[in-house]
Amino acid sequence: MSYADELIRQVTISQPERGLLLLRVRDELRMTLSAYQDLFVSARDYDSRKTVALETMDAIAELELKLKEHNGVAREYEAERDELNTYFEETEQILKERRESAFKQHHEQFQLLKRVNNALKVRN
């Protein structure tokens, strides 16, 4: 039993109407305090959910930004890959032409030496 309850009891003994009024005020005060506590708890819980939602949205925004950056880097690498493939194909074509040219020169030189050899055989 608190001091307020004892005071209300004493007032009720001496002045019953005033005591009942004080009881009503006390009960109303307790109900109001209880309502404010519930409201506070509800607001605190809402704020934490809201904070989590905001943090989640911020994280999603950061991930989308990183995704855009990575997509940009991927496009750069694809462009570099395409350039290297083109360079490789051009180099391969040049080397193929050189091989064919060297083979043709070797074949012509072989034919020339073969004719010279046959000519020398005919002389002897």
Quick check: 38 and 31 in contact, CB under 8 A?
Answer: no
Could you tell me the residue ranges of all domains in the chain?
3-123
| Cα dihedral sign, 61-66-72-75 | negative
Task: Decide if pLDDT at 119 tops 80.
Answer: yes
Q: What is the mean pLDDT of the chain?
A: 91
Model pTM score:
0.47
State pLDDT tens for residues 2-55: 888 888 889 999 999 999 999 999 999 999 999 999 988 887 777 777 777 788
Q: Which amino acid is at 1?
A: M
> Residue 1 pLDDT > 70, yes or no?
no
| Structure confidence by residue, pLDDT tens digits, 72-92 | 999 999 999 999 999 999 999
Letter for the amino acid at 93?
Answer: Q
